[in-house]
Structure 1
Amino acid sequence: MISIIVPVFRNAGSALELVRLLRLQELPNDSTLEIIMVDDGSGDDSTSRLQQHEDEHVRLIALPRNMGRSAARNAGAYHAQGKFLVFIDCDCRPEGQRFLSTHLEVLRGGCVASLGPVVAPEGDDAFWSRYQNEASARRARQHARGIFYSGSTANFAVHADAYRQCNGFDPRYIAYGFEDRDLLVRLSHMGRLGWCPEARITHLDALTLPGVLEKMRTAAGTSAELFSHDHLEAYRSLGYAELDVRLHPWLSPIATLTKPLLGAAPVVDRLLGQPWIPYRLFKPIVKALVAIAYMQGTTLASPGPAPRAT
């Protein structure tokens, strides 16, 4: 059996469309499918809407309060009955009907886990679509170079035994960022992580520059501090350490001087939506603002990394 875990937070309609598409997947004759939706304390009508679509193949786990993506995914995995676990975010869509089968081939071929590309909708040439596709291609290149923790668990399959043996996602990662990299580092110590280019998913989230900068600033806080504390070499190999004021205090004056530049984000964001704006012109500007936002996030005070639960 293959168990698919879909965390949901105030996005029931998108989750139900994903479930519909997952039901259409072509599976090997010896495989069955269960889909576990985890309502992460949405506090709206999501639970009742999702409950209406439960049946023998689709189950709902409703958490009493919002606990974050790590805890929500772990809750789904705890109730999963499958030999293989697949994680996919509810704002993503599998491309083609062999998405699950190709992940399964990688797992049955000797890999502990399988990762695949997260791309923009096909044919979309907007700025953020191109930016996202380049990021996905970069993850694939990093994986090929041996940085096996560079992928995204928005498109991720794993042997259930291995997932449970390494205690799944670390629930200390409550804020955005790095919970996937942390899990992948730990899994890479248990066996080979495969990259499955055929198992592609489309990411439908509408990105904005202010939103992206806020995510980077958030990720650079407690999440990055946890990750760098536990996996410093991995943190360095991914490139984030170069922007971390906690590791490089000499960056502090640069962070102070560049902080006002983030105020230009709304203006730049409006320009990004103009079709006549050359992508090559604004890509370095966006990358610079993303780096500044991350650097700013590392200057925020935090209580320090909590001990890992045993």
Structure 2
Amino acid sequence: MLKLGAATAPVRLSILTPFFRCDPTPLLAAMASAPAGVEFVLLDDGSGSAELLARVLTSAAALRAPVRVIVWEKNRGRAAGRNRLVAEAAGDYVLFLDADMIPDCPRFLERWLEVAESEPLAAFGGLSLRKATRTAETALHHNLFGASDCRDAEGRARAPAQFTASANLLVRRDLLAQLPFDSGFVGWGFEDTEWALRAAHLGPILHVDNPATHAGLDDVETLIRKSEEAGPNFARLAAKHPSAVRSFSAHRLAQALRLAPARAALRRACAWLARDPLSATPMIVRRAALKLYRASCYAEHLT
């Protein structure tokens, strides 16, 4: 473990950021003037890049806060990484921020410290695209994310566990000691939803409007790959929380697709539409095709 800086005040909030071949330095630069009582703990989850690690250490040294950087030789996944970060945190509260996030508000951390004063078990600040760059390669993800993930606090509070993500999530540290992430989730997806469904049994998840931008938008090939990775994780989620997951629209669609003939052919057609090789498919059709592709991947693993 690498340590930089020293605390000048008792740590109230630990910012926890895992990264795997993703550069968190823009996130660190956006929080260079962190208020007192904040620390940063980062985990290089097996990136294997001395150049990336050097950039992170240089950026971390510029922060006006104590920083610790943990380096793993091999990638162990998002759930295991977050659990390791929690074990290292010193704050009463932890704030999970993914490496490709950018706070929307200059007072982002101050707002989270204010939320922590009310002592919630957990609080989710929301996601946005305010500072994201839309390119031809990421246009589909931009459209999909804006339609599915960018909700205000009132909209998220209608299904608080389902609309909680670990990308901008404040949690009381002692809760995570008794309720860690399930490290059985590997690859991409749903470890945060599963955690939120368990946490909701212990107390309410507060939803507030303190969003951060998801700046690391994916191209279509990455979206397709992540959809395939998410299939086993979605099945694990459904097996652990069958009653709750039955209300998810993705689960209803996946169950319907289990009965569909020629599912492999359907996936190929959906992938073709999502890729839009002729540059002629309306975005709403591309988005629907990707959703169908995902649900078909889930259907392969549901029982």
TM over 0.5: yes
Give the aligned partner of residue 89 of structure 1. Answer: 98
Computed over aligned residues only, the root mean square deviation of the Cα atoms, in angstroms, reads 2.8
Shift of the alpha carbon at 1:48? 4.1
Residues 187-225 of structure 1: CA deviation (Å, up to 9, x unaligned): 11111111111x111111133233223222321x21011
Shift of the alpha carbon at 1:90? 0.9
Residues 50-86 of structure 1: CA deviation (Å, up to 9, x unaligned): 3455556111011121001111111111111000100
Shift of the alpha carbon at 1:120? 1.2
Give the aligned partner of residue 50 of structure 1. Answer: 56
Say which SS state the counterpart of residue 288 (structure 2) adopts.
helix
Give the aligned partner of residue 253 of structure 1. Answer: 261
Shift of the alpha carbon at 1:121? 3.1
Paired residues of 2:274 and 2:286 also in contact (CA < 8 A):
no
Paired residues of 1:208 and 1:269 also in contact (CA < 8 A):
no
User: What CA distance in whole angstroms lies between the structure 1 residues aligned with 2:301 and 2:267?
Assistant: 16
Change in Cα spacing, 1:158 to 1:145, as seen in structure 2 (3 Å) is same
Q: Give the TM-score, by structure 1 length.
A: 0.81
Are 2:194 and 1:182 equivalent residues in the alignment? yes
Question: What are the within-5 Å matches in structure 2 for residues 20-59 of structure 1?
Answer: 20-25=29-34, 27=35, 32-45=37-50, 46-52=52-58, 57-59=66-68
Paired residues of 1:243 and 1:294 also in contact (CA < 8 A):
no
Say which SS state the counterpart of residue 177 (structure 2) adopts.
helix
Residues 68-113 of structure 1: CA deviation (Å, up to 9, x unaligned): 1111111111111000100111111111222123233333324211
User: What CA distance in whole angstroms lies between the structure 2 residues aligned with 1:266 and 1:287?
Assistant: 7
Question: What are the within-5 Å matches in structure 2 for residues 5-24 of structure 1?
Answer: 5-11=16-22, 14-24=23-33
Residues 14-66 of structure 1: CA deviation (Å, up to 9, x unaligned): 312212222324x4xxx511101100011121334434555561110111210
Say which SS state the counterpart of residue 50 (structure 1) adopts.
helix
Are 2:70 and 1:61 equivalent residues in the alignment? yes
Change in Cα spacing, 1:140 to 1:255, as seen in structure 2 (3 Å) is farther
Shift of the alpha carbon at 1:286? 2.2
User: What CA distance in whole angstroms lies between the structure 2 residues aligned with 1:210 and 1:140?
Assistant: 31
Are 2:164 and 1:151 equivalent residues in the alignment? yes
User: What CA distance in whole angstroms lies between the structure 1 residues aligned with 2:277 and 2:213?
Assistant: 22
Question: What are the within-5 Å matches in structure 2 for residues 217-236 of structure 1?
Answer: 217-219=228-230, 221-236=231-246
Paired residues of 2:104 and 2:130 also in contact (CA < 8 A):
no
Matched residue pairs, number? Answer: 284
Give structure 2 stretches of 5+ with no counterpart: 1-11
Paired residues of 2:224 and 2:271 also in contact (CA < 8 A):
no
Among candidates 95, 106, 111, match of residue 102 of structure 1: 111
Change in Cα spacing, 1:300 to 1:237, as seen in structure 2 (3 Å) is closer
Are 2:211 and 1:211 equivalent residues in the alignment? no
Paired residues of 1:214 and 1:293 also in contact (CA < 8 A):
no
Paired residues of 2:45 and 2:81 also in contact (CA < 8 A):
yes
Shift of the alpha carbon at 1:181? 0.2
Say which SS state the counterpart of residue 130 (structure 2) adopts.
coil
User: What CA distance in whole angstroms lies between the structure 2 residues aligned with 1:137 and 1:263?
Assistant: 24
**What code does the residue aligned with 1:37 have?**
L
Give the aligned partner of residue 173 of structure 1. Answer: 185
Give structure 1 stretches of 5+ with no counterpart: 305-310
**What code does the residue aligned with 2:128 have?**
V
Give the aligned partner of residue 297 of structure 1. Answer: 297
User: What CA distance in whole angstroms lies between the structure 1 residues aligned with 2:274 and 2:295?
Assistant: 19
Q: Percent same amino acid at aligned positions?
A: 24
User: What CA distance in whole angstroms lies between the structure 2 residues aligned with 1:266 and 1:289?
Assistant: 6
Change in Cα spacing, 1:38 to 1:244, as seen in structure 2 (3 Å) is same
Give the aligned partner of residue 276 of structure 2. Answer: 268
Change in Cα spacing, 1:7 to 1:251, as seen in structure 2 (3 Å) is same
Q: Give the TM-score, by structure 2 length.
A: 0.82
